[in-house]
Structure 1
Amino acid sequence: MTIAKSSEPDLKTLPDHTQLPDSDGTFVKNFQEHPQSLVLTDSLQPVLEQLHPDQHYAIGQDCGIYWRITDPPERGAECPDWFYVPNVPPTLEGQMRRSYVLWQEWIPPLIALEFVSGDGSEERDRTPLDRTSESRQKPGKFWVYEQIIRPAFYGIYEVQKAQVEVYHLVENRYELVPANERGHYPIPQLGVELGIWQGRYGNVVLPWLRWWDSQGHLLLTGDERAKRAEQELQEERQRGEQRERELQEERQRGEQRERELQEERQRGERLAELLRSQGINPDEL
């Protein structure tokens, strides 16, 4: 791609999301990445429904955020494994976004997450862009997020270590967010906390990056919510059946007492009849 150089480029001539690659050409690093993205998106859905009744938000999963024009175009993008942008339409001109283009959108993500399979040096690389040379060296990922893309929160999840670092943009610099008493990292704008959960998702038991609400309750995926609802329904049916058994037992005890009283009356009547046959009035005893 050849882009004419200009001190003030015409935004109308810049490529949009339909003209830029939707991938940086790299392989997903491990089998956990895609389900990890899905569990984050799925479990956050009820929160987003409340925050955005107009459905104006975007979630990207391993797709590019373009921040500058380069040749090839992929060198001017970062591809977070997961990111969320508030207050943008879910589609552009009736099309799903192929990527997120900052010069087309202007609104930065609220949070961007990277899932690390290596040693994390790439995600923590603060090497600045060298504007004085034609070097093809790409600036560090941390620097691009902090200085250019500028999501309010940047998370680095080290899958192998089952730990996450969360940074908050404060006065143009990222500051490490301390964990709260639950070991979670609050994201106040969403009213949620981010942390590590050990458990089963799909058919695998692993440490997963998950959301909790501000009271520390795990946000469930749709499948987990359905299973919990089914479990609660089953428990309610069992409680109903138990109540029915107890009522049945109570009815049986009542019937037994009624039979015993009836037998007692019959014995009394037979005794009274015997006394009368012997000339004794039982009412005078």
Structure 2
Amino acid sequence: MTQTKIDLPPAFPDHTQLPESDGTFVKNFQEHPQSLILTDSIGSVLQQLHPDGDYAIGQDCGIYWRETEPPEKGAEAPDWFYVPNVPPLLNGEIRRSYVLWRELMAPMIALEFASGNGDEERDATPLSVSAEGETTKPGKFWVYERIIRIPYYGIFEVKTRKMEVYNWLNFSYQKLQPNERGHYPITPLGVELGLWHGTYQNQTQYWLRWWDSEGNLLLIGEERAQLERQRAEQERQRAEQERQRAEQERQRAEQERQRAEQEHQRAEQAEQKSARLAERLRAMGIDPDSEE
């Protein structure tokens, strides 16, 4: 009996077999510093949430959600995203992309830094198939909402300083309203997302930043170091002031001792003078103790 050979379909590719870039340029000079300031400042929060270190942060990295030809058509690359409960390395190798059909874990939050008016980031065009069987590339918003289902999606228009945050609820994105501080709570992380005006990497402008649930800004490493330097300087100044107070107290005590010593000497001198006077009076036949 002759066995029939069965041709199995090839296995789904992983992150080492898929392109890590679609060849496009970074859209503006703020994009990479913006990603860095977000990653740096939220590190301590993620370490508390993941003491085992199982989380990954992607910065302008592809999320592959379907197989296509060319492969890049089946990927979206958020400017910044965070995935909980996945290892930062795969089999000891640095991730080149995030392959959804291999990981089976959607990012919790994705952020886009729009150089234009945000139309691309809000594009909800669905995936469609032509009569010839060709598919069109769907909009980014539609992919995040309907396929990957990222719980939180934020859009920051760099030029207009406008930001929007969406929450995936009841199978669709609902636009969130900011709180009284103008921030958007990201409840699973216990943080808030908002805009901060300041200088970072020689650029003074508005940046996306994290705050804690009480409205305290989460600091980056440079800010933490500067704060520590300020605290150390304040402690040095307090110690110096305490040393000066102690020295002043020592000087006051020394002055008081000297005054007491001078008073004691004056008393001794007065007593000695009185004794000499009494001795002379006795020599003259006068009793100095007589009341007459």
TM-score (norm 1): 0.92
Cα RMSD for the two superposed structures: 1.8
**Larger radius of gyration, structure 1 or 2?**
2
Task: Find the aligned partners of 2:204 and 2:240 in 1 and give their Cα distance.
Answer: 34
Task: Find the aligned partners of 1:228 and 1:135 in 2 and give their Cα distance.
Answer: 57
The CA deviation at 1:278 is: 1.9
Task: Find the aligned partners of 1:145 and 1:242 in 2 and give their Cα distance.
Answer: 59
Structure 1 residue identity aligned to 2:118: G
Task: Find the aligned partners of 2:22 and 2:108 in 1 and give their Cα distance.
Answer: 22
The CA deviation at 1:136 is: 5.6
Deviation per residue, 1:141-172 (Å, 9 max, x gap): 11111001111000001111223110000011
**Is it true that 1:92 corresponds to 2:80 in the alignment?**
no
Unaligned runs of 5+ in 1: 1-8
Q: Please identify runs of 4+ aligned residues in structure 1 that moved more than 6 A.
A: none
Task: Find the aligned partners of 1:226 and 1:142 in 2 and give their Cα distance.
Answer: 38
Alignment of structure 1 residues 1-285 onto 2, 5 Å: 13-133=11-131, 134=133, 137-279=136-278
Task: Find the aligned partners of 1:66 and 1:146 in 2 and give their Cα distance.
Answer: 15
The CA deviation at 1:257 is: 1.0
The CA deviation at 1:202 is: 2.3
* Contact map agreement 2:129 2:135 (CA 8 A) in 1: no
Task: Find the aligned partners of 1:207 and 1:243 in 2 and give their Cα distance.
Answer: 42
- What's the % identity of the aligned pairs? 59
Deviation per residue, 1:231-261 (Å, 9 max, x gap): 2112111111111111011101110111111
Classify the secondary structure of the residue corresponding to 1:179.
coil
Classify the secondary structure of the residue corresponding to 1:189.
helix
Deviates more, 1:210-219 or 1:86-95: 86-95
Unaligned runs of 5+ in 2: 1-7, 282-287
* Contact map agreement 1:163 1:196 (CA 8 A) in 2: no
Task: Find the aligned partners of 2:12 and 2:150 in 1 and give their Cα distance.
Answer: 23
* Contact map agreement 2:121 2:140 (CA 8 A) in 1: yes
Classify the secondary structure of the residue corresponding to 1:124.
coil
Classify the secondary structure of the residue corresponding to 2:106.
coil
TM-score (norm 2): 0.90
Classify the secondary structure of the residue corresponding to 2:101.
helix
Classify the secondary structure of the residue corresponding to 2:259.
helix
Deviation per residue, 1:8-54 (Å, 9 max, x gap): x96x6111101111112111111111011011111111111111111
The CA deviation at 1:131 is: 2.8
Task: Find the aligned partners of 2:95 and 2:160 in 1 and give their Cα distance.
Answer: 33
The CA deviation at 1:132 is: 4.1
Partner of 2:5: none
Structure 2 residue identity aligned to 1:187: I
Task: Find the aligned partners of 1:91 and 1:239 in 2 and give their Cα distance.
Answer: 47
Structure 2 residue identity aligned to 1:101: V
Deviates more, 1:202-211 or 1:41-50: 202-211
Structure 2 residue identity aligned to 1:142: F
How many residue pairs end up in the alignment?
274
Classify the secondary structure of the residue corresponding to 1:13.
coil
Structure 1 residue identity aligned to 2:26: V
* Contact map agreement 1:152 1:169 (CA 8 A) in 2: yes
Task: Find the aligned partners of 2:269 and 2:69 in 1 and give their Cα distance.
Answer: 113
Task: Find the aligned partners of 1:237 and 1:162 in 2 and give their Cα distance.
Answer: 41
Task: Find the aligned partners of 1:195 and 1:274 in 2 and give their Cα distance.
Answer: 86
Task: Find the aligned partners of 1:235 and 1:201 in 2 and give their Cα distance.
Answer: 25
The CA deviation at 1:135 is: 5.0
Task: Find the aligned partners of 1:31 and 1:158 in 2 and give their Cα distance.
Answer: 14
Classify the secondary structure of the residue corresponding to 1:212.
strand
Task: Find the aligned partners of 1:227 and 1:22 in 2 and give their Cα distance.
Answer: 37
